[in-house]
Structure 1
Amino acid sequence: MQPFKFWFNDSLQDGVHFQNELYYRLRQTPITERSRLYHLACKLVQHGADVFVTASDDECSLWANLRNQKIFASSVSDKLSLPTAEGLMG
C-alpha cells in the first residue's frame, strides 16, 4: 500500500495505491468507532462499492476505489463534507 496526496475540488485529498488500484480516504474515525466504520463498509459493498478498511492503534480509515464515481462525487461535493450512509445509498 503506497500513500499519496492529490488535489481535487480545491482541497488536498489522501489516497493510496493498492493492488493496482487507486483509492481515496472516504472517512477517518477514532478506533473506538471501528465497528460503525465496518458497518458502513459492509453497506457500501452491498451496493457494489470497492472499499477496504485500515486501522492503526488509535484510528481507522475507510478507503473507496476512485473508479466508483458515485461515491467519490458524493464524498467530495460541498467541499468535502462527508456524506451520511443514507446519502451514499440513495
Structure 2
Amino acid sequence: MPLTKLDDIPPVLHEESLHPFKFCFGEAIQEGLSYRNELFCRLYSVDETRRAQLYHYGCQLARQEAVLITVKQSTYSLWIGLRSPKAAFCIAEKASGKDFTLPHLEAAPQPIVEIDAERTPISLNPSPASEYQV
C-alpha cells in the first residue's frame, strides 16, 4: 500500500530494513530510500534527545505529505516523499548550504490522558458483578 494516502501518524521503521540510495539534486548528493513503491528523501536527522520533536513535526507534515520516520541505533530521521512539492523546496534549501535545521516547535506533544496513580487507583482484582447495580 503506497503512502500517498494522507495519514496523521507516520510509520516508524528500522532504517536497516529499508532500501537506501543516493541521488544528485543540484550540486549535492542526497540520501533517499524506497518504501512501499515510494521514494523518500531524508529531511532531518536527530539524536534520541530530540526524537519527540522530530515525531511531532512528522505528524504535522503527515497531514499533507507522505512521510516516514526511521530509527538507526540512536539516530532518528524524518523522510518526505519525493513527489511532494515541499520535498523539492527542502532539498533545494539543503543543497544551497543554508542552515536547514528542524523547525522549532512551541512544545513537545503532551499525553492525551495523564493518570495520577495516587488519585486513580486501579484494582487488579475486579469486584464480582453482583456488587454492581444497574
Task: Give TM class, smaller chain.
Answer: 0.7 to 0.9
Gaps of at least 5 residues in structure 2 are: 1-17, 105-134
- Runs of 4+ in structure 1 deviating by more than 6 angstroms, as ranges, are none
Aligned with residue 27 of structure 2, among 2, 10, 25 = 10
Aligned with residue 74 of structure 1, among 89, 106, 128 = 89
TM-score, scaled to structure 1: 0.82
Cα-to-partner distance string for 1:8-65 (whole Å, 9 max, x where unaligned): 021000000110110000111112110000011011112x110010112221100100
Q: Distance in 1 between matches of 2:57 and 2:41?
A: 16
Q: Is 2:68–2:79's contact at 8 Å kept on the other side of the alignment?
A: yes
State the AA in 1 paired with 2:89: S
Question: Structure 1 residues 80 and 68, CA, compared in 2 at 3 Å: closer, same or farther?
Answer: farther
- What percentage of residue pairs aligned between the two structures are identical? 32
Between Structure 1 and Structure 2, the one with more strand by share is 1
Q: Is 2:47–2:76's contact at 8 Å kept on the other side of the alignment?
A: yes
1:15-54 matched pairs, under 5 angstroms: 15-46=32-63, 48-54=64-70
Equivalences, count: 84
Give the RMSD, CA atoms, in angstroms. 1.8
TM-score, scaled to structure 2: 0.57
Aligned match of 2:74: 58
